[in-house]
Amino acid sequence: QLQLQESGSGLVKPSQTLSLTCAVSGDSIISGGYSWSWIRQPPGKGLEWIGFIYVSGSTYYNPSLKSRVNISIDRPKNQFSMKLTSVTAADTAVYYCARVRLTYGRALDSWGQGTLVTVSS
Amino acid sequence: QSVLTQPPSASGTPGQRVTMSCSGTSSNIGSNSVKWYQQVPGTAPKLLVYSDNQRPSGVPDRFSGSKSGTSASLAISGLRSEDEADYYCEAWDDSLNGVMFGGGTKLTVL
């Protein structure tokens, strides 16, 4: 059974870089028909898509975050990662990683449990 | 403000049928498939509906999705207390070139 587990810094200072990794288990990250995504949810608010990466390495990012975000994939380690630069308090959120099922119209069909990242000095 | 518009709240009693809407434009719902997610407070979202009206295996047939033009709906029949959650619609937007979520509808089971 597929499992996704986020890990990374839970507290980041303003202007620094937020780094998170999503470890994938139960399937290969390079299985055909899937890509991989990051989504976030500020406390008490709705979901915001950050971006996704195909196994080829091609990426798509939320236009509002594009200048600050980078998503990469590590095939040997079966994981993918996200970096968000120049963070502010507005970047405080629960960050989720998820699998994108391409045959489901790019639906997010499996999610990690999420990890809270707080931006504060 | 979200690109996809959802009512902030909905409610129903056990056994009832409730529907919730998601309004978009020709660049998102009008030309791309709609997905629906259920998020019980404190947990990760779960995929309920994809490709407008398809259910992943394991999702009860009490949940059904539909779409007409630039609007989509999620219906829940035989409402249960465990259906109390936030529900989000989602679609790709061709103009913004990205995934867009609705603001979410909080369903209360009275």
Predicted confidence (pLDDT) per residue in B64-90, tens digit = 999 999 999 999 999 999 999 999 999
Per-residue model confidence (pLDDT) at position B93:
95
Contact A3, A13 (CB under 8 A): no
| Chain A contact set for B86 (CB, 8 A) | 46
Q: How far is A36 from chain B (nearest CA, A)?
A: 13
- Interface A:B, Cβ pairs < 8 A: 70
Instruction: Tell me how far apart the terminal alpha carbons of chain A are, to the nearest angstrom.
Output: 39
CA A40, B57, A114: angle at the middle one, nearest 5?
A: 20
Closest residue to A114, CB basis, from B44, B50, B100: B44
Euclidean distance between CA atoms B39 and B102, whole angstroms: 13
Distance CA A79, CA A75 (A): 7
- Cβ–Cβ gap B51/A114 under 8 Å: no
pLDDT score of A32: 86
Radius of gyration of chain A (CA): 14
pLDDT, mean of residues B45-57: 98
* Whether the predicted pLDDT of B1 surpasses 80: no
Residue A35's contacts (CB-CB under 8 Å, 6 or more residues apart) are A52, A53, A54, A55, A99, A100, A102, A106
Rounded Cα gap, residues A101 and A36, in angstroms: 9
Mutate to test the interface with B, among A40, A53, A106 (most CBs of B within 10 A): A106
Give the confidence band of B2 by pLDDT, cuts at 50, 70, 90: confident
For A9, other C-beta atoms within 10 Å of its C-beta total: 14
With CA atoms as reference, report the closest residue to B81 among B104, B108, B63, B106.
B108
In this predicted structure, what is the pLDDT of residue A16? 98
Q: How confident is the model at residue B12, as a pLDDT?
A: 97
Compute mean pLDDT per 10 residues along chain A, 121 residues long, and list them.
95 98 95 94 97 94 96 96 98 98 95 98 95
Q: Which of B60, B4, B75, B59 lies closest to B34 in space, CA to CA?
A: B4
Verify whether the Cβ–Cβ distance B103 to A46 is below 8 Å.
Answer: yes
Question: Residue A23, CB half-sphere, CA atoms under 13 Å: how many?
Answer: 7
CA–CA distance, B4 with B91 (Å, rounded to integer): 8
